[in-house]
Chains A and B, each alone.
Chain A
Amino acid sequence: MEVNEQIAIDHGLKSDEYKKICKLLKRTPNITELGIFSAMWNEHCSYKSSRLHLKKLPTKGKKVIQGPGENAGVIDIEDGDAIVFKIESHNHPSFIEPYQGAATGVGGIMRDVFTMGARPIANLNSIHFGSPQHKKTKNLLRGVVHGIGGYGNCMGVPTIAGQTSFDSSYNGNILVNAMTLGLVKKNKIFYSKAAGLNKPVIYVGSKTGRDGIHGASMASASFDEKIEEKKPTVQVGDPFTEKLLLEACLELMAGDSIIAIQDMGAAGLTSSSIEMASKGNLGIEINLNKVPCRETKMTPYEIMLSESQERMLIVLENGKEEIAKKIFDKWNLDFAVIGKTTNSKNIELFFNQEKVAKIPVNILVENSPMYDRKWKKSKLPKKNKIKNEVLNKLKIKDVLKKILSNQNICSKEWIWQQYDHTVMGDTIQKPGGDSGVVRVHGTNKAVAASVDSSAVYCWAHPLTGGKQVVAESWRNLISVGATPIAITNCLNFGSPEKEDNMGEFVECVQGIGEASKYLNFPVVSGNVSFYNQTKEVGIKPTPSIGGVGLIKDYKKMISMNLKEIDNLVLIIGKTGGHIDQSLFARTILDEKNGPPPEVNLFNEKNNGESILNLIDKGYVKSAHDISLGGLLVAISKMCIKGNKGIKINKSKNLINEIEYFFAEDQGRYLIEINKEDLKEVTKILNKNSVHHEELGIITQNDMIINEKTKVTIDELKSYYTNWLSKYMS
């Protein structure tokens, strides 16, 4: 087939990008070469719209062993141990085929982690669906949950935390972000940089089939009414093979055979081989006849662009082929020497003794397009004036009932009960808490992880929203007693070609950068998903932040369930009564405008560190951060999980009662302490200038608010627990 501009455009390339290819090659590419360019230069693989802005994120720190640019980020957790982690999107395929889309998202991120030599020890996910009333929502939710469980459960990796939200902006584009943490010894981390000439290039894992061809290109485009036709671009997962691949890779990694290793994820053999060569400043030669294929008569084009799952590419030391083959044979996996490293700095492909492609590696990587897209700055919206008469008409109990049973607050147990969250025997904080926590096997340490996003805040004011998500991740780690170390981000946005959406991206990234810099909470890995858009309608900007922290002594871990009657609950941080963009404003007042709550990074840092100090001294019996829904929602969850009540003292605060209980001011936590410790705790908080006040005293079973409103613990439970299972039945 003769390649021309129209064929290039059909491959998702722009006209000027095609011209650039011809100019760089000094000739017209053949169809295989064009396929390779389209795979490497699409948004998903090249980050062409985002690179310029991502560069500004803080990525370094004392604990950072590896920042962005590898398969995943790596942080130091002392004693020679390291945690490898990353979050990644699988949004487009999950909308087209929810089970396989979500499953292969989970499979892909676990592969990124064990490619680096780490055994996956925890999975998390952030999933976002359209309005519950939308006709597709229920099936998409069920499919995604089954897919995530189907893959993670079979792999035997616990799913320890997650986040689920519903918003009509996801009606045409759901989000599925999967995160994995792996444990590795610091001196046994594997990278993707090839080194040395004439080293054998090895293909291991599943055979290559025709599934997922152009998956990465599909994920780099908006949806339209013909989206269902894209089903063949969705990969099909086989978690059993991945489990074997995991064990085989770790077995091989125990020795010294591997020079470089890279999983075949988006853009399959194309991107894996090119990335290894590019990082090593080498060439690579592949004989495509040697690639194990599942189907007959596959062409070089198909082999290079297939996104079949559960495959790895390895550069081995010379003479180690037999050792490696024996291991993969034992695990019943394909093993083939398909090529070698060269000094040509080209990628050269052979098929039936003919050279079918030859492209200089640097053209594909360094010369890939980078755009400084136009973007529009957002203004901070004006505050709404909410009249006291409106608030005074509301009954606290009615509001609490509506908010606790709201789809974005209520218990997600229906979801996480379908995920094996206890396999591996180290899960010490299950889903439903502020963070999931797993012990570092065989040690006294534990690792906490949380995944967060606040699309509504980001939509109202991207800069503040970006900061807020990082702060919330930080608070969720603090609340379980973990010292926050680093984050990974999954940036889900609409089309970068639209100034509004690009502006949302730029300013969210700026907010993330500011907060992570201030909190010394660097970004070590991540991914960008643009074009979450159907025709002209994009999603609300949804950066997901995955935070990871360390608990040095796992016995000091904190959970949110109230522990003991007669203990006191303190509010840390100031309640200013910020109602705009709160769940209360949107669901009770039906008010969608106004600014999100302000994020004061000084207070975030100061309050968080002070709480860690109190936890370390043993004063904190339970803790929970105050976020979506506000103060009363936070204490309700603590009551529900601890099966205890609380007598809430009359607030001395001057603001309206409703504002006080449902405002979403940032930087706040609730902590439970012993009465006897009050003096000492107050002293420490005052010394650090941390705003604090008493909320109330823990009782046997009812929540009593200002002596006039009584909500029984059973009522609280029924508000909180029933919505999702009813919706899904």
Chain B
Amino acid sequence: MKSSVITFPGSNCDRDMDVALKKFGFNNKMVWHDDNELPKSDLVVLPGGFSYGDYLRCGSMASKSKIMRSVINFAKSGGLVMGICNGFQILVETGLVPGVLLRNKYLEFICKNVFVKLDNKENSYFKNLNKDILEFHIAHNEGNYFCTKDQLKEIEDNNQIAIYYCNKEGKIEDQYNPNGSIKNIAGIFNKEKNVLGMMPHPERMIDQSLSGEDGSIFFKNLINNIK
């Protein structure tokens, strides 16, 4: 299975994602933002970090970079595109997924483990997962997902909410919402469910010695789904 991770100026989770993808069997290539063409890929990942220093607005400049034209075409033709953290912010800026990501409610960067509940397994990312609640890790300053009422209705009608912040038991309540996201949304799909944007970092949960291993479950399942 071939994957591509895009490096933008200021990306800093690109290597971590490369390590994770390779660990679970992807043949991964790093792709420079200034390239024109994507290599042949089964999965494209926009990694976390601070592309263009988060200047102007998180993800906005990266969304206009050269390679993104190719990524957008790939997504529109049904290719799997996953944006993690800053990658989610970039996806939002391209319009591939709806909504915006605002500054965290308490105005502080937050780095910790969270639980997320899967809402929809009818897609290549979560299909066949035998767990509904995963422990992931977040590290962001602008993860407060927001959209208009109409957009929210549309998102809900289309089952586009991918994951919610919750507690260990899967309860989705305000107190388990780390950043003020509307409806505790931690990640969403495009209408077709081939594009996934999420704030949590599964690539930081791939080893017992790290924050946990639910990232391993996610990646193992993902590669099996793509095969």
Cβ-defined contact, A243 with B12, below 8 A: yes
Residue in B10, B110, B206, B207 whose CB lies within 8 Å of A243: B10
The distance from the CB of B103 to the nearest CB of chain A, in whole angstroms, is 12
Q: A420-B109, A422-B111 are in contact. Are A239 and B204 (CB under 8 A)?
A: no
Cβ-defined contact, B206 with A425, below 8 A: yes
Residue in A156, A240, A421, A424 whose CB lies within 8 Å of B52: A240
| Bound complex: CA A427 to CA B19 (Å) | 14
Answer whether residue A418 sits at the interface, using C-beta atoms and an 8 A cutoff: yes
Cβ-defined contact, B210 with A427, below 8 A: yes
Answer whether residue B49 sits at the interface, using C-beta atoms and an 8 A cutoff: yes
Interface string of A403-433 (1 = CB under 8 A from B): 0000000000000111111111111100000
Cβ-defined contact, A149 with B109, below 8 A: yes
Cβ-defined contact, B13 with A156, below 8 A: yes
A418 surroundings in chain B (CB, below 8 A): 108-111
B19 surroundings in chain A (CB, below 8 A): 425
B16 surroundings in chain A (CB, below 8 A): 423-425
The distance from the CB of A309 to the nearest CB of chain B, in whole angstroms, is 13
Answer whether residue A378 sits at the interface, using C-beta atoms and an 8 A cutoff: no
Q: Which of B20, B52, B211 has the most CB of A within 10 A?
A: B211
Residue in A146, A239, A417 whose CB lies within 8 Å of B50: A239
B203 surroundings in chain A (CB, below 8 A): 425
The distance from the CB of A554 to the nearest CB of chain B, in whole angstroms, is 7
Give the contact-size bracket for chain A: 20 to 34
Closest A residue by C-beta to B209: A428
| Bound complex: CA A155 to CA B54 (Å) | 12
The distance from the CB of A359 to the nearest CB of chain B, in whole angstroms, is 38
Cβ-defined contact, A244 with B10, below 8 A: yes
Interfacial residues of chain A within 257-309, with CB under 8 A of chain B in the complex:
none
Q: A418-B109, A421-B111, A423-B12 are in contact. Are A156 and B49 (CB under 8 A)?
A: yes
Residue in B9, B49, B207 whose CB lies within 8 Å of A332: B9
A243 surroundings in chain B (CB, below 8 A): 9-10, 12, 50, 53
| Bound complex: CA A425 to CA B16 (Å) | 6
The distance from the CB of B2 to the nearest CB of chain A, in whole angstroms, is 22
B13 surroundings in chain A (CB, below 8 A): 156, 423
The distance from the CB of B188 to the nearest CB of chain A, in whole angstroms, is 23
| Bound complex: CA A505 to CA B199 (Å) | 48
Cβ-defined contact, B10 with A424, below 8 A: no
Interface string of A225-244 (1 = CB under 8 A from B): 00000000000001111011
Jot down 23 A-B pairs with beta carbons below 8 A, ordered by A: A146-B108, A153-B141, A154-B10, A154-B12, A154-B53, A154-B54, A156-B12, A156-B50, A240-B10, A240-B55, A243-B50, A331-B9, A417-B111, A419-B111, A422-B139, A422-B201, A422-B210, A424-B16, A425-B19, A426-B210, A427-B210, A439-B209, A554-B209
Binding site for A on B (CB under 8 A): 9-10, 12-13, 15-16, 19-20, 48-50, 52-55, 108-112, 137, 139, 141, 201, 203-204, 206-207, 209-211
Among all A-B residue pairs, the 10 with the closest Cβ atoms: A156-B12, A240-B53, A425-B16, A154-B50, A420-B139, A428-B209, A418-B109, A422-B204, A420-B111, A149-B109
